[in-house]
Amino acid sequence: MSFEGHLFLALLEGTVTGFVLALTALGLSLVFGVMRIVNVAHGEFFMLGAVIAWYFSTMPGGFLPALVAAPLLVGGVAFLADRLVLRRIEYKPESTIVATIGLLYIIQQLVLTVYGPYARPVAAPVYFRIDFPWFGYSGYKLVVAGVSAALLVATWLVLSRTTLGLYMRATQQDREMAQAFGVSVHRVYALVFSLGAALAAIAGALVVPVQQAHYLMGLDALLMSFIVVIIGGLGSLGGTLAAAFLIGMSDGLVSVFFSPTLAKIVATLLVALVLVLRTGGLFGEEGT
């Protein structure tokens, strides 16, 4: 295939990856930004979304209801975790890490026992192939990109236009001040944690027809989300989007020129270098 073909493919893949990554990472970014904690189980929420989508795809209703059910169910799980555990340990950063690692093990084992160790495919709700001059491409992937973009816009609207969004931004900027103004920080935290999980779940549900549902798929999602969030800056939606695109594109583009494993190494090092040079990430606060 010609060079332009390779390049175009890389750009297309990068765009799709970027949008999906942004959606997956957004939840983590919000949790990081508002609650100042690391949720190691974030990837497991993503995986749960994918697995729930699989269950729905085997039932008469089909795959589409999962896009509503998955975020609701997973958000509920997250809400419980917040109430039962995180609140009790007072959101201390180090204790939260241990607690969320425990949560990760619990979720993984439950899924392994109930759903099984298999990687199961999910049929895409719409399937069509787009023929470009150099190659064929999955139409559903473009649909996923579009839906992700819509969800990102919706989240941005919630953050910037609604009262909840106002409370969240206030709590993120200055917790004590927000409390002084009557914002119930605990309620905001519970909502943010649930929202973060719901976003991850819907990303998982959207992506699963492109990949497959497997009980270990959360680890990769977690890793990528971490990276996006830190590069983009804590709690910054714009930053998350920019970082997701940077990573999505770079991976594809670099591997046009280098062998894939080498490309991954180079991409990883580039990411690390960006961080070192701009310690606040691209858009975040300095010195965080």
Partner 1 sequence: MRRTRARAVWALHLAILLLLLGLQFVVPPFHQIMLARIMALAVYAIGYNVLLGYAGLMSLGHAMFFASGMYATGLTILHFGFGAGAAFGLGVLAGAIMATAIGLVTLRASGVSFLIVTMMFSQAFYLATLYFNEITMGDQGFIISGRLQPLVAGGREFPFSDPAVKYNLALVVFALSLMLSVWLTRSPIGRVLVAVRENEERTRLLGYNTSSYKLLALIVSGSLAGASGSIYTLMFSYVGSSFASILFSIYPLLWALLGGTGTTLGPLLGTALMTYVVDIASGLTSSYLLVVGATLVILIMWFPAGVMGGIRARWVRWLP
Partner 2 sequence: MEHVSEGTRVASEKISRRAAIKAAGALVGAGIVGGVGGFSPAASVSRAAAQPARTPIKIGFQVHRTGIGAVYGRWYERTATAAATLINEMGGIAGRPIQLVPEDDGTDPKRGAEVVEKLAVHHKVDFIYGTLFSHVVIASAPRAGELKIPYFVVSEGYHVASGKLNRYVFQPGITDVRAQITGISSWVVKTLGKKITMIFPDYAFGYDHRDFLGRAVPALGGTIQARLAIPPTETSFSKYFARVPADTEVLYHVMVGPGVLTFVKEMGEHFGARRPQIFGFIDSLEGVDLASPGLEYLEGTHFWEAFPRYAGGYPTPHERFYRDRVGVNDAGASLRDPKDVSTYSHMFGCWETLFVIKQAVEQSGYRDPTPKDYRALIETLEEVQWFNEGIQHPQGPKKFVGQIHQSFGQQFISKVENRRLKVVHRTKIEDSLYPPEADYRKQPL
In whole angstroms, what is the distance from residue 267 CA to residue 260 CA? 10
Tokens of 173: 């900027």
**211 touching partner 2, by CB under 8 A:** yes
**113 touching partner 2, by CB under 8 A:** yes
SS3 (DSSP) at 198: helix
Return the residue of 10, 24, 32, 201 that touches partner 1, per CB under 8 A.
Answer: 32
215-254 as b/e: b if 16+ CB within 10 A: bebbeebbebbbbbbbbbbbbbbebbbbbbbbbbbbbbbb
**60 touching partner 2, by CB under 8 A:** no
Return the residue of 90, 129, 180, 182 that touches partner 1, per CB under 8 A.
Answer: 90
In whole angstroms, what is the distance from residue 112 CA to residue 123 CA? 21
Largest CA distance in the chain: 62
154 contact, one of partner 1, partner 2, none, CB 5-8 Å limit per kind: none
Shortest distance in whole angstroms from residue 118 CB to partner 2 = 6
104 contact, one of partner 2, partner 1, none, CB 5-8 Å limit per kind: partner 1
The site that binds partner 2 (CB under 8 A) totals a number of residues, namely: 43
Instruction: Tell me the C-alpha to C-alpha distance, in Å, between residue 192 and each of 67, 78, 278.
Output: 19, 10, 27
Shortest distance in whole angstroms from residue 269 CB to partner 2 = 15
Shortest distance in whole angstroms from residue 42 CB to partner 1 = 14
Look at residues 149, 131, 150 and name the one whose alpha carbon lies nearest to residue 139.
131
Footprint of partner 1 (CB under 8 A)? 32, 38, 40, 85, 88-90, 92, 94-95, 97-99, 101-110, 112-113, 219, 223, 226-227, 230-231, 234, 261-262, 264-265, 268-269, 271-272, 275-276, 279-281, 287-288
